[in-house]
């Protein structure tokens, strides 16, 4: 129940978390992440768009903004007193924060996903996955919370603690206030976001895309995972995919800090997230930077993708078989 006299949509993030009966430590953690986003926004607006002169584990040149956003979040989490372990796309390994796991959380995050889009002024975002305790190499279905902050024409934050998906907007005082609660995705959509090069699609994905185009589904793709997923969530319809490719059997997106949190949010909104063969949230990661193919959005469209893949690609590629059983290729 919101405070008498306060309309539901003046509720700030901390109050909403309290109304969802989220415990104090997790409430504090989520609010600290929201607080960090204010400094990330500032770095996007005023920061150096150049390169940091370093590269991440993937050998990708780190942009100054990537490194800055990573530092901002890392510092917040470090001093939050409720984090046991953390890791991000920019880190080579898991960073221990506290040996004591009791009442604490482990956090995997992509500090500035899509950062290469900033210099062409397209939307980017921060993606966060939260587990209880010390273990970050758990199946995604064990997450206790997931959220993203979208730095677009407006700055919005979308979170779930397993009780629906809720969107907040940043006001002119840089506070996050409730925009909408219990976001729902329809069973079938009318837009698709196809990642990866079309000429590298495998037969099943190719057949699926042909079917979508014959159905008159519109293509919407920004190159940023956060705005593209946000579009599917807030329009309540659509499917995003970055599939297994002929030369990339595990696709491009990272399981721990891109796919797991978005799969948690989309499933909480009534959608689905699959590798094309199995549920993303059931994947058992064996190493922190593993990748997986992804089809995520309307439940019926994801199921259809799986049908096309099963029909046209009876054999699971050797690479994915090895990956899904033992470890994720880096
Ligand atoms: P960067 O973070 O390197 O810009 O990559 C963004 C991303 O990981 C994800 O946000 C997009 O969905 C995907 O890559 C886009 O990949 P393509 O540029 O190959 O379409």
Check pLDDT > 50 for residue 325.
no
Identify the top-confidence range among 3-12, 86-95, 157-166: 157-166
Please give the CATH number for the structural domain made up of 8-180: 3.30.540.10
pTM of the model: 0.91
Distance 82 CA to ligand 1 centre (A): 31
Pocket lined around ligand 1, Cβ cut-off 6 Å: 113-116, 195-196, 223-225, 242, 252-253
Ligand 1 centre distance from Cα of residue 29 (Å): 27
Same fold, 8-180 and 191-324: no
CATH class of the structural domain 191-324: alpha beta
What is the atom index within ligand 1 of the atom nearest the CA of 240?
A: 12
Gap from CA of 223 to ligand 1 centroid (Å): 5
- Strands 105-113, 124-132: pairing is antiparallel
Residues 6 or more apart in contact with residue 120 via CB below 8 angstroms? none
Does the pLDDT value for residue 4 go beyond 90?
A: no
Sign of CA dihedral 166, 183, 266, 117: negative
Domain ranges of the chain: 8-180, 191-324
CA distances from residue 257 to 23, 146, 179 in whole angstroms, order as listed: 23, 10, 25
Residue-wise pLDDT for 15-74, tens only, equals: 999 999 999 999 999 999 999 999 999 889 886 666 666 766 666 666 688 889 999 999
Contact (Cβ atoms closer than 8 angstroms) between residue 46 and residue 214: no
What separation in Å is there between the alpha carbon of 24 and the centre of ligand 1? 34
């Amino acid at each position: 129940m919101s405070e008498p006299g306060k309309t539901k949509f003046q509720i700030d993030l901390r109050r909403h978390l309290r109304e969802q009966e989220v415990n104090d430590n997790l409430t504090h953690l989520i609010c600290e992440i929201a607080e960090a986003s204010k400094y990330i926004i500032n770095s996007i607006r005023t920061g150096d768009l150049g390169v940091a002169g370093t590269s991440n584990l993937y050998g990708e040149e780190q942009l100054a903004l990537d490194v800055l956003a990573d530092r901002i979040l890392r510092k917040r989490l470090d001093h939050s007193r409720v984090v046991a372990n953390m890791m991000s796309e920019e880190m080579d390994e898991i960073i221990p924060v506290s040996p004591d796991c009791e009442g604490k959380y482990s956090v995997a995050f992509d500090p500035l996903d899509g950062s290469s889009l900033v210099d062409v002024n397209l939307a980017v975002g921060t993606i966060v996955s939260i587990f209880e305790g010390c273990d970050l190499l758990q199946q995604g279905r064990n997450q206790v919370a997931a959220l993203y902050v979208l730095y677009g024409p407006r700055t919005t934050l979308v979170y779930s603690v397993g009780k629906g998906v809720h969107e907040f907007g940043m006001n002119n005082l840089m506070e996050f206030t409730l925009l909408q609660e219990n976001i729902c995705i329809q069973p079938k959509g009318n837009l698709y976001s196809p990642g990866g090069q079309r000429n590298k699609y495998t037969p099943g994905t190719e057949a699926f895309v042909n079917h979508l185009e014959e159905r008159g589904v519109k293509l919407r793709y920004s190159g940023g995972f956060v705005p593209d997923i946000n579009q599917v969530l807030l329009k309540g319809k659509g499917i995003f995919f970055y599939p297994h490719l002929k030369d990339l059997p595990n696709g491009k997106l990272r399981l721990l800090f891109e796919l797991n949190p978005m799969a948690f949010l989309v499933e909480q909104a009534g959608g689905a997230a699959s590798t094309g063969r199995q549920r993303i949230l059931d994947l058992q990661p064996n190493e922190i930077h593993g990748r997986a193919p992804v089809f995520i959005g309307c439940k019926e469209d994801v199921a259809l993708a799986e049908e096309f893949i099963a029909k046209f690609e009876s054999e699971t590629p050797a690479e994915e078989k090895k990956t899904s059983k033992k470890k994720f290729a880096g």
